[in-house]
Structure 1
Amino acid sequence: MAARHFLTLLDLSPEELAYLIRRAISIKTGLKTQGPTYTPFANRTLAMIFEKSSTRTRVSFETAMAQFGGHALFLSSRDTQLGRGEPVGDTARVLSEMVDAVMIRTFSHQGLEAFAAASSVPVINALTDDYHPCQLLADVMTWTELRGNVRGKTAVWIGDGNNMCHSWINAARQFDFQLRICCPEGYEPREDILAAAGDRVSLVRDPRQAVDGADLVTTDVWASMGQEEEQAKRERDFADLQVTEALLDLAKPDALFLHCLPAHRGEEISETLLDDPRAVVWQEAGNRLHAQKALLEFLLLGKVDG
């Protein structure tokens, strides 16, 4: 059987994604009540290739493998032959002979796709310039834990039409909720990704109108990794899109605020927003561990009862 990859949320069916959310919550409950006693990955190895810096992604995947009884290998482009020009496909074929799965955090989504095409073991997208699907598993898990089934609800994305925005669009398709995107002119998400979502996604320019009656509000830094030289221009272009407590007040009374982190206080969010009880970003960050455990388990072992 060919390996299943997780490069975007569209690689799994809505039913499989719903299973992952349920399973992640179950795994989290078991860890909190019994400790790391469930170890299905004895002698299994995950290769982790990093071409971009990371805190949450590295710690969550490495901890997931350790708690599951397996092992994670940290590989940076500086330390491997990829950094010296070895073809992506050659590296994929070599690693497929040695490890059980590969996680990649990189720039080019096309490069990730080329790696996956040559790999005979599961490949996981841990962030590219186009998508960040693992973050969305944690985000939907957090939303579900706190507010139940997300189907038919309304989320609002405020900020750049970036990789996180693209994954939120795919999440609206796969989990069947409405998404309003509020971004400045010239910073829209990719047209093909937006068009594929149909009427589940809408563009709203006014942030006050966008959050009106929403169930969830989320944002990201204005300049992502690799865009640091654009920081000053982006600060000007996004100046009216800061998420504040007053803006959240226009959403539903029980609305939640998410942020994939790291956050720049005083830029895309107010200085004190993360202290607001509606901001559940620490739970969201912690859920990276549990959601990725469910994903790894599914890709290597299939569906598991419990």
Structure 2
Amino acid sequence: MTIMSAASSSSSGDIRHLISIKDLSDDEFKSLVDRAEYYKKVFKSNDISEFQKQHLKLLGKTIALIFTKRSTRTRISTEGAAAFFGGQPMFLGKDDIQLGVNESFYDTTKVVSSMVSCIFARVNRHADILNLAKDSSVPIINALCDKFHPLQAICDMLTIKEHLDYDNNKLKMAWVGDANNVINDMAIAALKLGIDVAVATPPGIELDSDIQQEGQKLAAQNNCEFVCTHDSMAACTDANILVTDTFVSMGEEFAKEAKLRQFAGFQINSELCSVAAPNYKFMHCLPRHQEEVTEEVFYGKNSIVFEEAENRLYAAMAAIDIFVNHKGDFFSHP
């Protein structure tokens, strides 16, 4: 068995895994967003004959959800996507299986992957995703790790496409907040689509060097700008998209007070929004906390956070269809 990086070409004996957006070619990533858009239209159509056709693709099959972190959107969207294609979702929480207690990653991966068609993994460490991919006999879909969050990036770009049409408009996205797994994939995703990206983090917090290097390469390749700064006002100036995320990630609660002091002045509020483009949209992957964004902005007329959350379902559908139904062929017909 050969394990393929996501950027490599696929052949009959190869397994494609979704580890990060960085691993995909620009066209492969665009095809994922387009596939999500397609399945949103199918799902919204309520066409019973089309539903029956899609339901046969994984009828009688099982999709495993190995989650060592709690979730709302990820669990609902992945279970819903599996059910849409006729697969039985099997949720395996940290208290449900022997992983990390009496059994190694290798043993668990070999056993689980022998019985299912795909594994969605929401884990703590990026190394855990890589270990799963190394030993799995079925596709691994990264449903979040401490380094990347590719399903969120797919849904975010679909949301931007729907509201601001990145194909026909030059856009700027401003991220204000932490350097974390969400922006690691979101920045790369936006740059692959030719969207300018400005990332504002507090002094002392920087994007990982590999993300910065990839971002600069994509910016040069796709004729767009990629800027990392500690000036939130500069980042938001003329931005069409304002984005933030939690300042205190799961597992970092012990450092909450220190983190909040460090992030003083990085809340998205009316002052930052006043320098954005008139048609700006506000995005947040949820759950949201008061220190990250004011209620005025979060629930305001420019906020698209709930459409963004719904689009997680169609991102999961796109991932299953390409990586499982079509065995990593990004340019197959849905």
SS in 2 for 1:104: strand
**Structure 1 residues 186, 15: closer, same or farther in 2, change over 3 A?**
same
SS in 2 for 1:143: helix
Quick one: distance in 2 between partners of 1:283 and 1:132?
Answer: 18
2:303 maps to 279
2:212 maps to 194
SS in 1 for 2:90: strand
Deviation at 1:146, TM superposition (A): 1.1
Unmatched 5+ stretches in structure 1: none
Quick one: distance in 2 between partners of 1:243 and 1:110?
Answer: 33
TM-score of the two chains, using structure 1 as the length reference: 0.95
SS in 2 for 1:82: coil
Query: Is the CA contact (8 Å cut-off) linking 1:169 and 1:194 kept in structure 2?
Result: no
Q: What's the CA shift string for 1:100-136, capped at 9, x where partnerless?
A: 0001111110121011011110001111111111101
2:41 maps to 29
1:218 maps to 243
Q: What's the CA shift string for 1:201-256, capped at 9, x where partnerless?
A: 21122211111111111000110001101111111111101001331121111111
Quick one: distance in 2 between partners of 1:304 and 1:195?
Answer: 31
1:86 maps to 103
Quick one: distance in 1 between partners of 2:280 and 2:286?
Answer: 19
Quick one: distance in 2 between partners of 1:43 and 1:305?
Answer: 22
TM-score of the two chains, using structure 2 as the length reference: 0.87
Query: Is the CA contact (8 Å cut-off) linking 1:48 and 1:103 kept in structure 2?
Result: yes
1:289 aligns with 2:313: yes
2:62 maps to 45
Query: Is the CA contact (8 Å cut-off) linking 1:172 and 1:197 kept in structure 2?
Result: no
SS in 2 for 1:89: helix
Match of 2:253 among 214, 228, 246: 228
Deviation at 1:271, TM superposition (A): 2.4
SS in 1 for 2:115: coil
2:151 maps to 134
1:305 aligns with 2:333: yes
Count how many residue pairs are aligned between Structure 1 and Structure 2: 305
SS in 2 for 1:97: helix
Q: What's the CA shift string for 1:129-164, capped at 9, x where partnerless?
A: 111111010000000011112585211111011111
1:268 aligns with 2:292: yes
Q: What's the CA shift string for 1:160-189, capped at 9, x where partnerless?
A: 111112112321343232211101112211
Deviation at 1:35, TM superposition (A): 5.0
2:23 maps to 11
Query: Is the CA contact (8 Å cut-off) linking 1:245 and 1:276 kept in structure 2?
Result: no
Give the share of equivalent positions with the same residue, in percent.
34
Quick one: distance in 1 between partners of 2:323 and 2:250?
Answer: 28
Quick one: distance in 1 between partners of 2:141 and 2:191?
Answer: 20
1:160 aligns with 2:185: no
Letter of the structure 1 residue corresponding to residue 18 of structure 2: F
